[in-house]
């Protein structure tokens, strides 16, 4: 069981995050942003992670710092859980439909943070948050975790598109961090 306990405090946010990679999908998230809580819960539940995340952010300003900093801390926690990468599969993907929407997420947990985010939302907000922040959350998470992610999505309902993305990311991450063949580091270089 890979467990990580993280705290991060800035003038904009205070975050406490507990992550268990090989969990049961139990999740307690309180960011002050109900839609974002719902998305993180979907990601953890379908990825099989145990996630406890409590965030106190400057929501009087807007939701940006809370969502961005949650991505940063979750990325740091995932990076710590990956460690040297010994024994993980490293690569995985998931294709998840939700009604008329579909999301595809392909991941490489090889230490190089990069995000390709391809798709568009129909409105400027989804679930009461700016739709542009969804991409920024995954950018913050991936660059901190050292994950290359390709996320593509389409559909007509922004909520369905967003939820499909988060579910697909959780499932792909679970696959990438699952035990691989043997105990070696999954790299021709000998290190991630």
Q: What is the pLDDT of residue 145?
A: 98
Say whether pLDDT at 27 is over 70.
Answer: yes
Average the pLDDT over each of 82-86, 151-155, 170-174, 181-185 and give the range with the smallest value.
181-185
Query: What CA–CA distance (Å, rounded) separates 134 from 112?
Result: 20
Q: What is the pLDDT of residue 190?
A: 80
Q: Is residue 190 part of a domain?
A: no
Which tens digit of pLDDT belongs to each residue from 83-93? 999 999 999 99
Say whether pLDDT at 43 is over 60.
Answer: yes
Q: Could you give the angle at the alpha carbon of 18 between the alpha carbons of 13 and 23, nearest 5°? A: 145
Backbone phi, psi, residue 133, to 5°? -70, -20
180 pLDDT band (50/70/90 cuts)? confident
Average pLDDT, integer, range 75-97: 96
Q: Is residue 187 part of a domain?
A: no
Q: Is residue 91 part of a domain?
A: yes
Residue-number span of the structural domain to which 89 is assigned? 3-177
Contacts 24+ apart (CB under 8 A), 21-30: 21/49, 21/81, 21/174, 21/177, 22/48, 23/48, 23/49, 23/50, 23/51, 24/48, 24/50, 25/49, 25/50, 26/50, 26/51, 27/51, 27/52, 28/52, 28/53, 29/53, 29/54, 30/54, 30/55
Say whether pLDDT at 159 is over 90.
Answer: yes
122 pLDDT band (50/70/90 cuts)? very high
Mean pLDDT over all residues of the chain?
Answer: 96
1 pLDDT band (50/70/90 cuts)? low
Q: Is residue 116 part of a domain?
A: yes
Q: Is residue 11 part of a domain?
A: yes
Q: Is residue 183 part of a domain?
A: no
Number of domains in the chain: 1
Q: Is residue 21 part of a domain?
A: yes
182 pLDDT band (50/70/90 cuts)? confident
Say whether pLDDT at 185 is over 90.
Answer: no
Q: Is residue 182 part of a domain?
A: no
Return the number of other C-beta atoms located less than 10 Å from residue 118's C-beta. 11
Average pLDDT, integer, range 37-48: 98
119 pLDDT band (50/70/90 cuts)? very high
Question: Which residue matches tokens 């290359």?
Answer: 148
Average pLDDT, integer, range 175-191: 85
Domain at 49, CATH number: 3.30.230.40
Average pLDDT, integer, range 109-129: 97
For the whole model, what pTM was predicted? Answer: 0.96
């Amino acid at each position: 069981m890979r467990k990580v306990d993280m705290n991060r405090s800035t003038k904009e946010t205070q975050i406490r995050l507990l992550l268990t990679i090989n969990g049961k999908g139990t999740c307690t998230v309180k960011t002050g942003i109900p839609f974002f809580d719902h998305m993180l819960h979907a990601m953890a539940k379908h990825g099989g992670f145990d996630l406890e995340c409590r965030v106190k952010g400057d929501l009087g300003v807007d939701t940006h710092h809370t969502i961005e900093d949650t991505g940063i801390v979750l990325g740091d926690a995932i990076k710590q859980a990956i460690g040297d990468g010994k024994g993980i599969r490293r690569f995985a993907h998931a294709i998840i439909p939700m009604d008329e929407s579909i999301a595809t997420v392909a991941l490489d947990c090889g230490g190089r943070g990069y995000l390709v985010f391809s798709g568009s939302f129909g409105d400027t907000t989804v679930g009461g948050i700016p739709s542009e922040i969804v991409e920024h959350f995954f950018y913050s998470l991936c660059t901190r975790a050292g994950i290359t992610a390709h996320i593509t999505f389409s559909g007509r309902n922004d909520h369905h598109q967003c939820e499909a993305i988060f579910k697909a990311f959780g499932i792909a991450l679970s696959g990438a961090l699952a035990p691989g063949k043997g105990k070696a580091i999954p790299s021709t270089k000998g290190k991630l």
